[in-house]
Structure 1
Amino acid sequence: MNGYIERTYRKGMFRSYQKEILSRELCDVFMPVNFIERDTEETAVYRVAGYVPLAAAGSLSEEQALTLVSSLIEGMIRAEQHCIFIGEYRICEEVLGVQPESMNAALLYQPWRYDNREELLRELQRIMEGMKRRTEGRDSPHLRRAVEIVATGRSGLDIIGHRIEMLRQKSAEHPADTENDTDQPSLSARPKSI
């Protein structure tokens, strides 16, 4: 993604506090955005410099894929502290940007409403399965396990995120070790999310 992307929405799709948070860059899981208001619509101008679409990220290692997913989930959880609630914005490959050097994720904020938690987890699972395809030819047991964790959907997003982060750490330290994927957290540090 180079420079800027513009998207036009029906006026009123963004709440005023959301526009304030997004334009002031207070929520780092979303790309910075400015708004141009017109009579019946508003244009969101997203600043996407430094990010590439996930589809353009090319081949991924297992650790890179898990870093990206962990960064996305972490950012979504932190967004709730700013009243940008999970399930009120779109999560899919089309709105996901990646910082190639750090593998941190950022989203183009698009107002959206998921009807239930399972629908949101299915979208996250689709993103992860796309990443899994980009690691084809390589054994990716930790990523495969992460997809299973999301697919079962038995835990809250914070617990899912914690388990995926533990898998990321294991992938970084012991790529072949698949046993006890969530029993012991490792001490490796992960790059800070955007």
Structure 2
Amino acid sequence: MNDHIEVNYKSGDIEEFHKELINRSLCGLFLPGNVLECQGATIITYSTKDYLPVTAVEALDVCRALDMISCLMAAMMEAERRYFFLGEYSMEPEHIYVSMEGSQVCLIYRKAEYADEKQVYEKLIDLIEILKTKLVNGGESYLDTAAGYLRRGKSSPGVVRHRIEELSREARACRFE
């Protein structure tokens, strides 16, 4: 398996300061990348060492799945402090990578425009549905509950993350690890 993936960006697809943040690995939401400018285009080579595409993950327990969603939401909130605003980057499954060890989830930057928080929540629900297909020891109801928190769309990302962390603690107490 390759330890990197190369992504080409057209002019205007990525802001200069975003390139710099990715190049310096200053935003934990995105995989570390090296930026190269070439003939008006930008090429970023992302390091995928120790990461798998979310679609390639196998044999997941529900606690790790919940931790992945929680870690992703924490990284999304942290990214806002680096001017990567919620809804301005793609949450498509092909742009999501998961640490082979632990629960860290990172993205490959792709510009997107989701109209509101609800559309971002829909993408997180899609991710939960993917993770549900990877479960090996049950616990689907915990992921359904997490998706329900997102579907309601009435809570901030921080509140939803907190509720998902509570679900993870409950699943651990019920020995779903």
Would you say same fold, with TM above 0.5? yes
Q: Number of residues paired by the alignment?
A: 176
Q: 1:41-79: CA deviations, max 9, x gaps?
A: 211211111101111111211101101101100100011
Unaligned runs of 5+ in 1: 177-194
Matched residues in 1 for 2:169 and 2:2: separation? 31
Tell me: CA distance 1:137–1:165, structure 2 relative to 1, closer, same or farther (3 Å). closer
Partner in structure 2 of residue 50 of structure 1: 50
| SS in structure 2 of the partner of residue 124 of structure 1 | helix
Query: In the TM superposition, what is the alpha-carbon distance from 1:169 to its structure 2 partner?
Result: 1.4
How do 1:1-194 residues align onto structure 2 when only pairs under 5 Å count? Answer: 2-135=2-135, 138-175=138-175
| Structure with greater contact order relative to length (CA < 8 Å, sep ≥ 6) | 2
Matched residues in 2 for 1:100 and 1:49: separation? 9
TM-score of the two chains, using structure 1 as the length reference:
0.85
Give the letter for the 2:95 counterpart: V
| SS in structure 1 of the partner of residue 46 of structure 2 | strand
Asked if 2 retains the 8 angstrom alpha-carbon contact of 1:14 and 1:111, the reply is yes
Q: 1:98-119: CA deviations, max 9, x gaps?
A: 1121021111111211122221
Asked if 1 retains the 8 angstrom alpha-carbon contact of 2:57 and 2:134, the reply is no
| SS in structure 2 of the partner of residue 134 of structure 1 | coil
Query: In the TM superposition, what is the alpha-carbon distance from 1:29 to its structure 2 partner?
Result: 1.7
Asked if 1 retains the 8 angstrom alpha-carbon contact of 2:61 and 2:136, the reply is no
Give the letter for the 1:152 counterpart: R
Asked if 2 retains the 8 angstrom alpha-carbon contact of 1:11 and 1:37, the reply is no
Matched residues in 1 for 2:16 and 2:123: separation? 27
Matched residues in 1 for 2:12 and 2:63: separation? 40
| SS in structure 1 of the partner of residue 127 of structure 2 | helix
Asked if 1 retains the 8 angstrom alpha-carbon contact of 2:50 and 2:101, the reply is no
TM-score of the two chains, using structure 2 as the length reference:
0.92
Matched residues in 2 for 1:89 and 1:71: separation? 17
Give the letter for the 1:33 counterpart: G
Give the letter for the 2:37 counterpart: E
**RMSD of aligned C-alpha atoms?**
1.6
Partner in structure 2 of residue 180 of structure 1: none
| SS in structure 2 of the partner of residue 97 of structure 1 | strand
Asked if 2 retains the 8 angstrom alpha-carbon contact of 1:2 and 1:51, the reply is no
